[in-house]
Amino acid sequence: MPDWEDYYKILQVDPSAEPEVIDAAYKKLAQKYHPDKDKSAQATEHMKRINRAHDVLSDPAQRRDYHQEWLRRQGKQPPSSPPAAPPQPAGQRPAEIVLSSFFISPENVQLGGSVNISVMAINNGVITASKTIAMTGDFTGSQTITLKPGAKGIAKLTITPKTIGNFNVSIGPFAGSFSVTAPRGPSQTNIVLSNFSISSEQTQLYGRVRVAVTATNKGDTASSMRISMTGDFSQSRTVTLRPGASTVVRFIIIPKAIGTLNVSIGQFTGTLSVSEPKVSPRDLVFLLILVVALLAIVLPIVFFGIFHK
């Protein structure tokens, strides 16, 4: 049998934690330190310790015997325990708020992001009680929580790191760490734009207009770029080009308002003048022919109906 270990510390739970809290802590640690995810040399041994702690603390009989030994080692109970004192009457027993289920989320954050440090509090007493939960380490803070008998609550402290690095925080018997990295800059691209054009700078309402720009990869590696048209019209396309390759990116717009409209792509800007639709002489001739054709069909039907009544 291995040397005696503090199973409460291994599972990061309070000695008075309830079974469901112990199970939740075990699942969290198993997911984090399983050898499939933790590639360190100590992963297998660490997982064995977690499993051993859970096996003992999840079994009522084993946990009772283990807890007696834990109390003795903590100096909270002499090796030969005297008879237990009779319980105090309900309503006179002091309040007892214990902590469990310590979480840090996320454990990796970019500079300027926020990190939540939370812990569950449980009132195991018989009267309503309050407890100030303090965070120490590289960041400090506190929150006071008030719970009714048997109630649970989560205390959450939010911090925003101002520097890059690894940081440690503690709440009660629990401790953890998180890392802060530099923010990722915008993705780099070797694609440049040129030859911006608008097929017709004057059009009628609901006419089709083509807006185009040439994209060229000036770099030595393949590159992608999201090309966006902004202004009074909004569209976007993503292009991927090999080194030295070019392509024409086209957008089709249909104006639905009269006036001068603006269109921009990258550093290029243009305008489009939209007017009311005009009827040309050719359109008038076509309409006249259409009316005559309809009358040639309708009138004989009408007269035929009249003379045969």
Listing DSSP states for 81-131 in one string gives PPPPPPPPPTTTSPP-EEEEEEEEE-SEEETT--EEEEEEEEE-SSS-EEE
* Of residues 19, 6, 28, the one with CA closest to residue 122: 19
The answer, yes or no, to whether residue 46 has pLDDT greater than 90, is no
Give the DSSP H or E segment for 304: helix 281-307
Report CA torsion sign: 201, 203, 205, 207.
Answer: negative
The answer, yes or no, to whether residue 83 has pLDDT greater than 60, is no
pLDDT at position 195, please? 93
Tens-digit pLDDT profile for residues 264-308: 898 888 887 888 877 666 777 778 898 888 888 887 877 777 766
Asked, for residue 163, whether it belongs to a domain, the answer is yes
Asked, for residue 87, whether it belongs to a domain, the answer is no
**Same domain for 230 and 154:** no
Confidence of residue 126 (pLDDT cuts 50, 70, 90): confident
Question: Among 137, 166, 185, which residue terminates a domain?
Answer: 185
**Same domain for 54 and 8:** yes
**Same domain for 197 and 178:** no
pLDDT at position 95, please? 57
Is residue 224 within 8 Å of 239, Cβ to Cβ? Answer: yes
Asked, for residue 70, whether it belongs to a domain, the answer is yes
Asked, for residue 21, whether it belongs to a domain, the answer is yes
The answer, yes or no, to whether residue 23 has pLDDT greater than 90, is no
What is the value of pTM for the model shown? 0.37
Average pLDDT estimate for 107-129: 86
Say which CATH number the domain at 118 has.
2.60.40.10
**Same domain for 167 and 146:** yes
Asked, for residue 290, whether it belongs to a domain, the answer is no
Confidence of residue 90 (pLDDT cuts 50, 70, 90): very low
The answer, yes or no, to whether residue 152 has pLDDT greater than 50, is yes
**Same domain for 245 and 226:** yes
pLDDT above 70: percentage of residues in the chain = 89
Confidence of residue 93 (pLDDT cuts 50, 70, 90): very low
pLDDT at position 212, please? 93
Report CA torsion sign: 230, 232, 237, 239.
Answer: negative
**Same domain for 161 and 111:** yes
- Whole domain around residue 53: which residue ranges? 1-79
Say which CATH number the domain at 14 has.
1.10.287.110
**Same domain for 102 and 30:** no
> Two tokens at 109?
């954050």
The answer, yes or no, to whether residue 246 has pLDDT greater than 90, is yes
The answer, yes or no, to whether residue 92 has pLDDT greater than 50, is no
The residue with greater pLDDT, 295 or 247, is 247
Q: Where on the phi/psi map is residue 12: left (φ > 0), alpha (ψ -120 to 50), or beta?
A: left
The DSSP 8-state label assigned to residue 289 in this structure reads: H
Average pLDDT estimate for 142-147: 89
pLDDT at position 210, please? 92
**Same domain for 212 and 178:** no
Instruction: Work out the end-to-end distance of the chain between its first and last CA atoms, rounded to an integer number of angstroms.
Output: 115
Question: Among 160, 185, 210, which residue terminates a domain?
Answer: 185
Question: Among 53, 79, 105, which residue terminates a domain?
Answer: 79
Query: What total of structural domains would you count in the chain?
Result: 3
pLDDT at position 248, please? 94
**Same domain for 98 and 177:** yes
The DSSP 8-state label assigned to residue 28 in this structure reads: H
**What is the C-alpha separation between 229 and 282, in angstroms, rounded?**
36
Q: Out of 159-163, 202-206, 287-291, give the one with best mean pLDDT.
A: 159-163
Asked, for residue 295, whether it belongs to a domain, the answer is no
The DSSP 8-state label assigned to residue 221 in this structure reads: S
Asked, for residue 207, whether it belongs to a domain, the answer is yes
**Same domain for 2 and 47:** yes
Asked, for residue 71, whether it belongs to a domain, the answer is yes
pLDDT at position 185, please? 57
pLDDT mean across residues, the chain: 82
pLDDT at position 186, please? 52
Report CA torsion sign: 282, 286, 289, 295.
Answer: negative
Q: Out of 68-82, 175-189, 247-261, give the one with best mean pLDDT.
A: 247-261
